[in-house]
Structure 1
Amino acid sequence: MMIAMTLFRTTRNGEFAAAFCTCYRKYCTVEDVYTPKKKVIHPYRQIHPWKSENEFANSLLKNIIYNADGIVAINKPYGISMHNKNKDGDSSIKNCHKIVNAVNYSIHDVLPYLAKELDVPSLIPCMGSEKYMTGLYVFGINDDACQQIEKARRRFQMGKYRKYWAITTRVPNDIKGKYRLGMTLQKSSLGAKKPVILTKWSINAVKRNEVQLLNINYKIISNSTHNLSSLIEMEASVKRWHSLRLFASTMLYSPILGDNYHGSRVQEIMGTWIKVNPFAESCWDMPKINQQLLQLLDIKQSQQEIIPTHIHLRNVYLTSFGKQKKDIVLEAPLIHPFDWTCKQLMFKHIPELNNDDIEDVVKIASA
Structure 2
Amino acid sequence: MFKRQVLFVLNQNLIRYSSLSQSTVTSSLNSATNRYDNDDGHQHKSINKRLSSSSKHLYRNLFDWNSQIDLAKLLAKNIVYNDYGLIAISKPWGLGIHKPADNVIYLKNPSNAEQILNNQIFGQPKYSIADVIDLFGQLMHLNHPLHIVKAPDRRWSGLVLFSEEKTMENHILKAIRRAKAQRTPPMRFYCVVNGLIPSVEIGRWYEERCGIRLTEIDELGQSKEPIYVSPNDMSHNIRKKGAHRDNKYQLGPVKSASIKYRVLAQNPDLAVSLIDLHTTITKWSAIQCFLAYKTSFILGDTFFSYRVKHIFGQHITMSTLKQKNLQNWRHIDQSFEPLSRKVCQKLGVRSNREIPLMIHHYGLLFPKLLRTLRPLKRQSNHESLNDQTNQNLIKLDDNDDLIIETNFNHLPKHFYRTLDRLNLNIFS
Could you say whether these structures have the same fold, taking a TM-score greater than 0.5 normalized by the shorter chain as the test? yes
Secondary structure of 1:247's aligned partner? helix
Asked if 1 retains the 8 angstrom alpha-carbon contact of 2:150 and 2:169, the reply is: no
2:228 aligns to what? 197
The reply on whether 1:111 has 2:133 as its aligned counterpart is: yes
Q: Which has the larger displacement, 47-56 or 208-217?
A: 208-217
**1:361 alignment partner in structure 2:** none
Instruction: Tell me if 1:315 matches 2:363.
Output: yes
Q: Deviations over 1:135-156 (max 9, x none)?
A: 1111222123222222322222
> What is aligned with 1:292?
342
Query: Are 2:380 and 1:306 aligned?
Result: no
**Does residue 340 of structure 1 match 2:365?**
no
- 2:213–2:253 Cα contact (<8 Å) kept: yes
The answer on 1:267 being equivalent to 2:292 is no
1:219-266 Cα deviation digits (max 9, x unpaired)? 1001137352000111111001111011111x2111011101211122
Conservation of the 8 A alpha-carbon contact between 2:193 and 2:296: yes
Partner of residue 209, structure 2: 180
48-57 or 58-67, which deviates more = 48-57
User: By percentage of residues, which structure has more strand?
Assistant: 1
How do residues 64-83 of structure 1 correspond to structure 2 at under 5 angstroms? 64-83=79-98
1:189-212 CA distances to partner (integer Å, 9 max, x unpaired)?
Answer: 132211111222523257788211
Map of 1:164 onto structure 2: 189
Contact persistence 1:123–1:139 (CA under 8 A): yes
Contact conserved, 1:155 with 1:319, CA < 8 A, in 2? Answer: yes
Residues of 1 paired with 2:299 and 2:79: CA distance?
Answer: 27
User: Does residue 1:127 correspond to 2:158, yes or no?
Assistant: no
Kindly indicate whether the alpha-carbon contact (under 8 Å) linking 1:182 and 1:211 is maintained by their aligned counterparts in 2: yes
- 1:24-173 mapped onto 2 (5 Å cutoff): 41-85=56-100, 88=105, 91=109, 92-99=111-118, 100=121, 101-120=123-142, 121-156=144-179, 157-158=182-183, 160-173=185-198
Who wins on radius of gyration, i.e. which is larger? Answer: 1
Displacement of 1:284 after TM fit?
6.6
Residue 85 of structure 2 contacts residue 164 of structure 2 at CA under 8 Å; is this kept in 1?
Answer: yes
TM-score w.r.t. the length of structure 2 is 0.66
Q: What is the correspondence of 1:206-225 to structure 2 with a 5 Å cutoff?
A: 210-224=253-267
* Structure 1 position 45, deviation (Å): 0.5
Q: Displacement of 1:270 after TM fit? A: 5.0
Match of 2:21 in 1: none
1:129 shift after superposition: 2.2
Taking the aligned partners of 2:165 and 2:242, their CA distance within structure 1 comes to: 35
TM-score by length of 1: 0.76
Structure 1 residues 278 and 258, CA gap change in structure 2 (3 angstroms): same
Q: SS at 2:206's partner residue?
A: strand
Letter aligned with residue 190 of structure 1: L
Deviation (angstroms), 1:286: 5.2
Secondary structure class of the residue paired with 1:314 = strand
Q: Would the alpha carbon gap of residues 207 and 215 (structure 1) be closer, same or farther in structure 2, given more than 3 Å must change? A: farther
Native 8 Å contact 2:197 2:295 kept in 1: yes
Change (3 A) 1:218 1:284: farther
Q: Is the 8 A contact 1:125 1:139 kept in 2?
A: yes
Q: After alignment, is 51-60 or 89-98 more displaced?
A: 89-98
Alignment deviations for residues 282-316 of structure 1 (CA, whole Å, 9 cap, x no partner):
57765411111111112234xx4220110011111
C-alpha contact (below 8 Å) 1:225/1:347 kept by paired residues: no
Partner AA of 1:309 in structure 2: L
- Letter of the structure 1 residue corresponding to residue 420 of structure 2: K
2:333 and 2:208 map into 1 onto residues whose CA distance is: 25
CA distance in 2 between counterparts of 1:138 and 1:255 reads 28
Shift in CA distance, 286/241, structure 1 to aligned 2, threshold 3 Å: farther
1:290–1:40 CA distance, 2 compared to 1 (3 A): closer
Task: Give the aligned partner of residue 355 of structure 1.
Answer: none
Match in the other structure for 2:20: none
Identity %: 23
Q: Which one has the bigger helix percentage?
A: 2
Are 2:58 and 2:418, in contact at CA under 8 Å, matched by a contact in 1? Answer: no
Moved more, 240-249 or 123-132: 123-132
Query: Which deviations, in whole Å up to 9, do the C-alpha atoms of 1:101-156 show, x marking residues without a partner?
Result: 22242111111211222133122222232110111111222123222222322222
- Which whole-Å CA distance do the structure 1 matches of 2:418 and 2:92 have between them? 15
2:18 alignment counterpart: none
The count of aligned residue pairs is 310
Q: Which runs of 5+ in 1 are unaligned?
A: 1-38, 353-367
Separation of aligned partners in 1, 2:226 and 2:335: 17
**SS of the counterpart of 1:43?**
coil
SS in 2 for 1:264: helix
Q: How has the CA–CA distance of structure 1 residues 140 and 285 changed in structure 2, closer, same or farther, with 3 Å as cutoff?
A: farther
Structure 2: runs of 5 or more not aligned: 1-53, 245-251, 325-331, 375-393, 395-399
Cα distance 1:283–1:336, how it changes in 2: closer, same or farther (>3 A)? farther
The 1:41/1:228 distance shift into structure 2, 3 A limit, reads same
Q: Does the 8 Å contact 2:68/2:131 carry over to 1?
A: no
What CA distance in whole angstroms lies between the structure 1 residues aligned with 2:263 and 2:365? Answer: 21
Match of 1:9 in 2: none
